[in-house]
Amino acid sequence: MNFIEARKLIHEYIRRDEEENVESILTALDGVDLDVKQGEFVAVLGHNGSGKSTLAKHLNLLLHPSGGTLWVDGKNTQEADSLWDIRQNVGMVFQNPDNQIIASVVEEDVAFGPENIGIPTSEIWGRVERSLKSVGMIQYRQHSPNKLSGGQKQRVAIAGVMAMEPKCIVLDEPTAMLDPNGRKEVLDAVVRLNQEKGVTVILITHYMEEVIRADKVYVMDHGKVVMQGVPRAIFSQVDALKSYRLDVPQITLLAHELHEAGLPIPDGILTRQELVEALCQLY
């Protein structure tokens, strides 16, 4: 069985007026199927309001589905007693770095998760050290989070999740509030965790550049999965992506435009190097 399996997942936000009458229903997830294997790097793309954040919050049971089924790590999320088990195994990193750091010292924040699940003191120290090292923040262990840059804060947040030794981390637009350098720092840390520690990664984002390194990409629109496949296959469908309010990396777009203009360039060019090679072969 896959690490995460969702079948026809539905989530409705129901707004009620003062007399508890249903005022409006917003279907944020509309029959989503999702399969994530252990150790995979999966990206979920979508514009703001496409339902991708709602999906992320289901994966560690911050939200419960209105319909459909979701298995995480072989457990049905409908069963109440699997809640803490799943939360421990599926860590979650949110968009705003400031609003997820609890303690006033970096190492104490990283210890927050292990403290909650009752890890003995001596082991907490080891975990804090290992997870701060894994995101390259060990030299800041004594610092106040307020003095760190956005990228550094977000890496502390990732370390805080890693200290719980989860099998999977879900990152809900972790780079949306960061500058380009911060974005790169965070993404590199995530890719490293995936490749070196074998952590399953689910990255929710609207930056196309960030999903190039993923094993599999899901594209969401209006609560539905509208495209899925390897990055190259996704990026070869430039017009479809545009219709879902997304855009493709500048190089891919250029390759697509050149193709439209009559140059026989292959579909799904992702990097500058690939485009240079393709053009050299044609010339």
Q: Please, which of residues 208-267 interact with another protein by CB under 8 A?
A: 208, 245-247, 249-251, 253-254, 257-258, 261, 263
Of 8-16, 18-26, 57-65, 188-196, which part binds another protein (CB under 8 A)? Answer: 57-65
**34 vs 92, beta carbon nearer another protein:** 92
By CB under 8 A, is residue 131 in contact with another protein? no
Near another protein by CB under 8 A: residue from 4, 43, 70, 111: 111
DSSP string for residues in 197-211: S--EEEEEES-GGGG
Query: Using CA of residue 57, residue 61, residue 66, residue 69, what is the dihedral sign?
Result: positive
**7 vs 272, beta carbon nearer another protein:** 272
Near another protein by CB under 8 A: residue from 65, 113, 174, 223: 113
Cα–Cα nearest to 13, from 57, 46, 70: 57
Q: Which of residues 142-181 bind another protein (CB under 8 A)?
A: 145-146, 149-150, 160-161, 164, 176-177, 179-181
Near another protein by CB under 8 A: residue from 51, 174, 182, 231: 182
Near another protein by CB under 8 A: residue from 30, 40, 107, 165: 107
Name the residue with tokens 């279907």: 27
Least Å from the CB of residue 120 to another protein: 6
Q: Which of residues 59-88 bind another protein (CB under 8 A)?
A: 60, 62, 84, 87-88
Near another protein by CB under 8 A: residue from 48, 69, 76, 195: 48
By CB under 8 A, is residue 96 in contact with another protein? yes
| DSSP state for residue 239 in the 8-state scheme | H
Rounded distance, CA 94 to CA 101, Å? Answer: 10
Rounded distance, CA 236 to CA 255, Å? Answer: 10
By CB under 8 A, is residue 23 in contact with another protein? no
Q: Please, which residues have CB within 8 angstroms of residue 20's CB and are 6 or more apart in sequence?
A: none
Q: For residues 253, 256, 257 and 258, what is the CA-based torsion angle, rounded to 10 degrees?
A: 120
The encoded tokens of residue 238 equal: 């430039």
3-state secondary structure of 179: coil
Query: Using CA of residue 211, residue 178, residue 52, residue 34, what is the dihedral sign?
Result: positive
Rounded distance, CA 62 to CA 154, Å? Answer: 20
**79 vs 179, beta carbon nearer another protein:** 179
By CB under 8 A, is residue 116 in contact with another protein? yes
